[in-house]
Amino acid sequence: MTRRPHPRGATPRATVSRALRDLSADGRRRVLGLLVLATVTQLRIFAIFERQMKRTGGPGIVTFELAGSTEKARQIVDTWGAEGRSAARKSLLLDFVFPPTYAALHALACDASSEALAEKGRRTLAAAGTSIAWAQLAAAAFDYVENTSLLLVLAGRDRRAPSVARRAALAKFALLSLGHGYIVLRGLAAVRFRATVRTRGKRRSG
């Protein structure tokens, strides 16, 4: 099994994917593939609960996450009725399993993007990858705060819980958006790199 080398010019560093450094490229792709499969599977289950909540005439779980006030949270819970509350509770309980899956997937994708950027000489952008990868794990921690707070709301203990849930949800979404943006940036950098290589090749052949 071949050891994946560090990009030229990059120094070995502690990253969230250090445990995968000894994996072959195929092995690493398999791990990422399993994480993608697990993420998609859980999202499909969330979609079932989402439909059940909206079938009552109430909103989905994200609106509940961002309610922010006791009045708005109670209005959502009352609109849901027993069926919607049951679906929301199941969704939140499943969401205690979901964060490790998506956080690991996002973190590894960010770390891979960092390596790819380093290989293309984008060292400043590559250096940000480790922090952004760790931010995906922080997003999972905020998700747990959010889920716990919303379960308290469903249990009738909603004095401060809606506000805490909203702040945690906004932090989670911000960190995940940062990770998504970094991955997209890596894709754009790859496209530009290939275009530059083609242009140089044409100039030399001409």
Per-residue model confidence as pLDDT tens digits over 121-153: 778 888 888 899 999 999 999 999 999 999 999
Query: 73, 91, 49, 96: which is closest to 164 by C-alpha?
Result: 73
Tokens of 5: 């080398």
> Which comes out higher in pLDDT, residue 36 or 198?
36
How confident is the model at residue 121, as a pLDDT?
76
pLDDT at 5 over 70: no
Query: 161, 111, 153: which is closest to 136 by C-alpha?
Result: 111
How confident is the model at residue 199, as a pLDDT?
54
Which residues, 6+ apart, have CB-to-CB distance to 164 below 8 Å? 145, 146, 149
Digit-coded pLDDT (tens) for 25-57: 677 778 888 999 999 999 999 999 999 999 999
This prediction has a pTM of 0.78
In whole angstroms, what is the distance from residue 167 CA to residue 165 CA? Answer: 6
